[in-house]
Amino acid sequence: MLFKPFDFCIAIPLLGAVIASFAWAYADTGGRSTVNLKSEGGEWVFPLDAVETMSVSGPLGDTVIAISESTARIISSPCLNQTCVAAGALHSPGQWAACLPNRVMLYVGEGEKENNVDAAAW
């Protein structure tokens, strides 16, 4: 296969665009990660490095949330299938766990940015 000079004129800018998009996507924003907790009873925001254990009431009963060692997790919930507990520890912005039957949502956000999970997830 023979490369022509025009091939390089196209390939080099495209390669630069790919590298720039990776740099932008994985750049450290310097924001402090937060744990966002939503339920019918209200909304709470904690720093990810906090040490908290909280019980949140929902239609089925209490869901217990723990924040420690820069992770957040749902420890227990009164729902039947326990997928919210099985979600495990959340530690990176964009990760979330929800107990839909009990209407409790837990997600990790990034500082001052708007950190909403789309409506389909809620």
Q: How much is the pTM? A: 0.66
* 116 belongs to a structural domain: no
Total number of domains in the chain: 1
Q: What is the pLDDT of residues 35-86, one digit of tens each?
A: 999 999 899 999 998 999 999 999 999 999 999 999 999 999 999 999 999 9
Q: What is the pLDDT of residues 80-104, one digit of tens each?
A: 999 999 999 999 889 999 999 999 9
* 71 belongs to a structural domain: yes
- What sign has the CA pseudo-torsion 44, 46, 48, 54? negative
CA angle, 66 then 71 then 75, to 5°: 30
* 42 belongs to a structural domain: yes
Q: What is the CATH number of the domain that holds 65?
A: 2.60.320.10
Residue 90 CA to residue 33 CA, distance in Å, equals 11
Q: What is the pLDDT of residues 98-110, one digit of tens each?
A: 999 999 999 998 8
- Give the range of the structural domain holding residue 94, as residue numbers without chain letter: 33-110
Nearest to 43 by CA among 118, 121, 101, 115: 115
* 118 belongs to a structural domain: no
